[in-house]
Chain A
Amino acid sequence: MALSSDKRSQLKRIPIPEDRHFKPQLVGYNPKTPNRLAEVLAHSLLYFVFVGLLLLIYGVLPWLFKLPGSPLASGGSFTTTGAVLYGILAAVLSFLVAAVAALILILVLRKYLGLVQNRYGPMHNGPAGAFQTIADAVKMVAKEDFVPGKADALVFTLAPLMVFVSAFLLLTIIPFAPGWVLANLNVGLLFIVAAGTIGAYGVLVGGWSINNKFGLLGGLRAAAQLVSYEIPLSISLLTVAVWVGSLNLMDIVEAQKLWWTAIPLLISAAVYLIASLAEIKMTPFDLPEAESELVAGFNTEYSGMRFGFFFVAEFAELFLLPAIAVVLFFGGYYQPLAGFWDFADVLRGLGAEGSTLNQFGGLLASAYGMLWFLLKTALLSYLVIWVRATLPRFRDDQLMELCWKVLIPLSLIGLAVAVILRLVFK
């Protein structure tokens, strides 16, 4: 596009320095933006926006429902109308929580990846790129809803939904703070395995349905990867169940008030972290979408919001699998060594029993627990991205070799350790 002469004169002239002598920069980062670490940290603070949303579900909504004179509650518990209304609102809001978490996490981790890789990351939409994921989401929704001519349209549509739903199902069972869990299942651990596996089917049938050779290879790799990582992952979950004696995630967290499960079950924790990298499909295990080999693998032909579902699900998993690791191995919502002294107990002890201050203190105690939970989860998510930025990709047979020959024996050893420790100490 040609610029008119007055427009051209308005263009900013970039002065060429008189002496362009080369100045080596020993630190790779551009000295003009020394605040990039600060940018990453500031974006990480956004992550706690969704603390607010969770507070809304678990703290403010029940309080609103139980206001004096409210038709939704009587005598401190919900009426039927109240319970139904709360159930619907909580489900919608918790979906929002997960979506917001994924959106924020995409931004934060892209920014962090930029920091690792000596570049800026998103920076044009909003302050320091804060609105980048919103812009991305708008773009993806606005795109044409396109199905390739030779693709199986039904399966093609269903596959991203399976992945998406599988990721977000996991959210329902995660205890964010004492009592703050959407579905307090007695079979929580089994649910993790079940819900997580649906996603891998989505990738498999998605890659198959698009009628593209690279997609097919990607889908089949996903299947091979699934049967490989799922076994050590499940065994390390089993280890926790053996040690704690419960499949309920709340009970598992409560059992870690003094010592994290990761301390006696170090092997299982390591196996879980490695296997969950494979489940998230993150480097070094990003074989199904290996962009330099299979173009984009299973999502080669996906575009617009269908691709968006895969993308958001991937980042939701990037939050959820570390979250599960925190629940199972790293003390959940408890601060470290909470068995000796817990600040949450101080908050709970505020005011007289049943007073407003006491209720407020209880809410604060839950929020405090959740802050610890989110902090630990964020650190693990950063770890995953750090690994992604560092390592090349494994070959498919190497992945299977690693899972079958190393991780499964290791996880079995971990299981044996758990059994022995339980017999000795409990």
Chain B
Amino acid sequence: MSIPAALMTGPTVLEPVVGKTDEMIVNLGPQHPATHGVLQIVLGVDGERVTRAVPHIGFLHRNHEKIEESRSYAQVIPYLDRMDYVSGLQNELPYCLAVEDLAGLEVPERAKYIRTAMFEFNRIISHLVWVGTYMLDLGAITPFLYAFRDREMALDIIERTTGGRMLPNYFTFGGVRRDVHPKFWQDLLDFLDYFEKVVPEYETLTVDAPVFQARSVGVGLLSQELAVNHGISGPNLRASGVAHDLRKDQPYDAYPELDFSVITRDEGDVWARSKVRMDEIYQSIDLIRQCAELAPRSGPYLARGRVKIEAGEQRYRAAEISRGQLGVYIHSDGGTGPYRSKHRSPSFVNLQIIPDLFIGQKFSDVIAILGSIDIVLGEVDR
């Protein structure tokens, strides 16, 4: 099969516009310290001001969706970890939910709480990575090292529970793959007791810091309308004043039993997005505590059953991962694996907004805005 000529165009080459001043075309990436992976943005800059921005993706494309068509349902899960490698556990959940729906598996109560706690725990880890790398983008090196210190402790708990650190392959249809160890809940609570005292430190270094506020307040304004029109989700959307959170709107696992409210802010700027993430760290701490309190300490961790899905069955399930709405669409042809598996990854959708936000901004602000959207290229390209 030959590839259509229309698809064979190379990367866009922008011609500099010569006007009052000469436009300079700058390739931001794919090898650049602040693009968080292999994202390329071709920028037209007039001095320090950005006139055009064309994002290029695909440098990390690994063909996950096509590979998943030739795998059995259970074999797909390790691939999911590798999409958003910063929050591997969270990626597994929507796929598991969809397969559970199709196969009619009922998740035991205990597994629900374990999954919810781990889901929120991974949100803390993901937001820690965001705090660190984002402050690195803004030129502050220390928060990065503090964040990774705490992330390391958190990853130790994930490792002790699941066997993997970033790619755990832990959630499965009907529950979790292995039972948690006896000290699991105590581990989590001990960590949270420590971590709760450290988060104000991060706030001091980020959202409360005057220089950070100077760099972030009023920068990269994302209006409510623009956000909704582009399908932005996650903290980016909630920072623009839309109270959309799938944990509340389409609750899954143990979320219906937990007491929490959707965090929103109305400013819609870089600072608001940062503040929402900071508040979400507190929220996750609270949610894990609630899980630890409510979770049954004994009982099955896995509803064992055959995954048999009739031909023509299809299901879309989504979950609110750290970056927004991660959806999985599965279409079955009655075989052992999905006939078609489609991922709606939040970073990919959130990335669409960058030309709108970049144009007219300073070069330094471009980095600040890109970091505040919090993309993971593994998930953008899949």
Report A's interface with B, CB cutoff 8 A: 20-26, 28, 116-119, 213-214, 216-217, 220-221, 283-284, 286-287, 290-295, 388-398
Residues of A within 8 A of B197 (CB): 26
A392 touches B212 (CB 8 A): yes
26 A-B residue pairs with CB within 8 Å:
A22-B190, A24-B153, A24-B190, A24-B194, A117-B146, A118-B145, A217-B45, A217-B48, A217-B363, A221-B48, A283-B139, A284-B139, A287-B364, A290-B364, A292-B33, A292-B34, A292-B367, A295-B32, A391-B209, A392-B139, A392-B140, A392-B212, A394-B215, A396-B362, A397-B362, A398-B214
Is B253 on the interface with A (CB-CB < 8 A)? no
A368 vs chain B, min Cβ distance (A): 36
When the two chains form their complex, are residues B139 and A292 in contact, meaning their CB atoms are under 8 A apart? yes
Q: A392-B209, A392-B215 are in contact. Are A22 and B157 (CB under 8 A)?
A: yes
A385 to chain B, nearest CB (A): 11
- The CA of A166 and the CA of B123, in the complex, are separated in Å by 50
| Chain B residues closer than 8 Å to A283, beta-carbon distance | 139-141
Residues of A within 8 A of B149 (CB): 28, 118
Query: Given B137, B211, B367, which contacts A391 in the complex, CB threshold below 8 Å?
Result: B211
B208 within 8 Å of A (CB atoms):
no
**A20 CB contacts on chain B under 8 angstroms:** 156, 160
Binary flags per residue of B78-105, CB closer than 8 Å to A gives 1, else 0: 0000000000000000000000000000
The distance in angstroms between the C-alpha atoms of A4 and B339, with both chains bound, is 47
Across the interface, do A214 and B26 meet the contact criterion of CB distance under 8 Å? yes
Q: Is the CB of B139 within 8 A of A22?
A: no
CB neighbours of A389 from chain B (8 A) = 141-142
Contact between A21 and B183, CB atoms less than 8 A apart: yes
Within 8 A of A (CB), among B160-216: 160, 183, 186-187, 190-191, 193-194, 197, 205, 209, 211-212, 214-215
**CA A21 – CA B45 in complex, angstroms?**
53
A216 to B193, CA, bound (A): 49
For the complex formed, measure the closest distance between the CB of B373 and the CB atoms of chain A, giving whole angstroms: 15
B residues near A393, Cβ cutoff 8 Å: 138-140, 211, 215, 364
Interface residue? B365 (CB, 8 A): yes
Contacts of B287 in A (CB 8 A): none
Residues of A within 8 A of B54 (CB): none
Please tell me if the beta carbons of B160 and A22 are within 8 angstroms of each other in the complex: yes
CA distance A398 to B219 in the complex (A): 13
Does A390 contact B140, Cβ atoms closer than 8 Å?
yes
Q: Mark B207-238, 1 if CB is under 8 A from A, else 0.
A: 00101101100000000000000000000000
B187 partner, pick from A22, A28, A117, A216, beta carbons under 8 A: A22
Do residues A22 and B48 form an inter-chain contact, with CB atoms below 8 A? Answer: no
CB-CB under 8 A from A396, the residues of chain B are: 48, 362, 364
Nearest Cβ on chain B to A81's Cβ, whole angstroms: 53
Confirm or deny: B76 has a beta carbon within 8 angstroms of a beta carbon on chain A.
no
B135 close to chain A: CB less than 8 A: yes
Tell me if B's interface is mostly helix, strand, loop or mixed: helix
Question: Across the interface, do B142 and A28 meet the contact criterion of CB distance under 8 Å?
Answer: no
Which 5 pairs, one residue from A and one from B, show the smallest C-beta to C-beta distance? A393-B139, A24-B194, A392-B138, A392-B140, A292-B34
Distance in angstroms between the alpha carbons of A321 and B73 in the assembled complex: 65
Bitwise interface map of B from 27 to 57 toward A, beta carbon under 8 Å scored 1, else 0:
0000011100000000001011000000000
* B136 beta carbon closer than 8 Å to chain A: yes
Smallest CB gap from A214: residue in B: B26
B295 partner residues in chain A, CB cutoff 8 A:
none
A414 and B316 CA atoms in complex are apart in Å by 68
Q: Which residues of A contact B214 (CB under 8 A)?
A: 394-395, 398
Give the residue of B24, B139, B205 whose beta carbon is less than 8 angstroms from that of A213.
B24
B186 cross-chain contacts in A, Cβ below 8 A: 21
Residues of A within 8 A of B137 (CB): 292
In the complex, which residues of chain B have a beta carbon less than 8 angstroms from the beta carbon of A394?
211, 214-215
> Who on chain A is nearest to B25 by CB?
A213
In the complex, the chain B residue whose C-beta lies closest to that of A293 is: B367
User: How distant is A31 from chain B, measured CB to nearest CB, in Å?
Assistant: 13
Partner among B135, B139, B160 whose Cβ is within 8 Å of the Cβ of A290 = B139
Query: What distance in Å separates the Cβ of A135 from its nearest Cβ neighbour in chain B?
Result: 22
The one of B47, B138, B141 in contact with A117, judged by C-beta atoms closer than 8 angstroms, is B141
CB neighbours (8 Å) of B212 from chain A are 392
Shortest CB–CB separation between residue A238 and chain B, in angstroms?
28
Give chain A residues whose Cβ lies under 8 Å from the Cβ of B209: 391-392
Cβ-defined contact, A21 with B187, below 8 A: yes
Most chain A Cβ neighbours within 10 Å, of B141, B149, B157, B194: B141
Tell me the smallest distance from the CB of A164 to a CB of chain B, in Å: 25
Among A24, A119, A283, the one with the most B-chain Cβ atoms within 10 Å of its Cβ is A24
Alpha-carbon gap, A391 to B141, bound state (A): 8
A392→B209 CA distance, assembly (Å): 9
A293 touching B140, Cβ below 8 Å? no
Determine the chain B residues whose CB is within 8 A of the CB of A398 once the complex forms.
Answer: 214-215
Q: A20-B160, A293-B363 are in contact. Are A116 and B142 (CB under 8 A)?
A: yes
Give the one of A295, A395, A396, A397 with max B CB within 10 A. A395
Question: Which residues of chain B are within 8 angstroms of A117 by Cβ–Cβ distance?
Answer: 141-142, 145-146
Complex: A341 Cα to B149 Cα, angstroms: 49
Report how far A274 CA is from B370 CA in the complex, Å.
29
CA distance A224 to B327 in the complex (A): 48
Further pairs besides A22-B187, A213-B25: 4, Cβ < 8 Å: A20-B156, A22-B157, A220-B47, A395-B215
Residues of A within 8 A of B364 (CB): 287, 290, 293, 393, 395-396
Q: Which residues of B contact A216 (CB under 8 A)?
A: 24
Set of chain A residues within 8 Å of B191, measured between Cβ atoms: 22, 24
**Chain B nearest CB, measured from A280 CB (Å):** 15
Closest beta carbon of chain B to A250's beta carbon, Å: 38
Docked Cα-Cα span, A381 to B24, in Å, equals 38
Q: In chain B, residues 108-164, which have Cβ atoms closer than 8 Å to a Cβ of chain A?
A: 135-142, 145-146, 149, 153, 156-157, 160
Contact between A395 and B34, CB atoms less than 8 A apart: no
Centre residue among A221, A391, A398 by max chain B CB count within 10 A: A391
Across the interface, B34 reaches (CB within 8 A) one of A24, A116, A293, namely A293
Rounded to whole Å, the gap between the CB of A384 and the closest CB of chain B is 14
Nearest Cβ in chain A — how far from B367, in angstroms?
5
Q: B194 near A25 (CB under 8 angstroms)?
A: yes
Q: Which residue of A lies closest to B214 (CB)?
A: A398
**What residues of chain B lie closer than 8 Å to A291, measured between beta carbons?**
33
Question: In the complex the two chains form, what is the Cα distance from A287 to B363 in whole Å?
Answer: 11
Q: Which residue of B lies closest to A213 (CB)?
A: B26
Shortest distance from the beta carbon of B2 to any chain A beta carbon, whole Å: 37
Nearest residue, chain B, Cβ from A19:
B183
